[in-house]
Amino acid sequence: MVLADDCVPFGADCYVRLGASLIAHTWDPVALAVLREGPRRRRDLLSAIGDISDKSLHESLGRLVAAGLVARGLSGEPTYDLTPLGRSFASGPLLTLARWAEDNSTALAR
pLDDT given for residue 17 in this prediction: 81
Residues 6+ away with beta carbon under 8 Å from 52? 27, 30, 46, 60
Residue 8: predicted pLDDT = 61
On the question of pLDDT at 99 being above 90, the answer is yes
What pLDDT digit, counting tens, does each position of 11-68 carry?
A: 556 777 888 899 999 999 999 999 999 999 999 999 999 999 999 999 999 999 999 9
d(CA 110, CA 51): 24
Q: Return the domain boundaries, the chain.
A: 8-108
CATH topology of domain 8-108: Arc Repressor Mutant, subunit A (1.10.10)
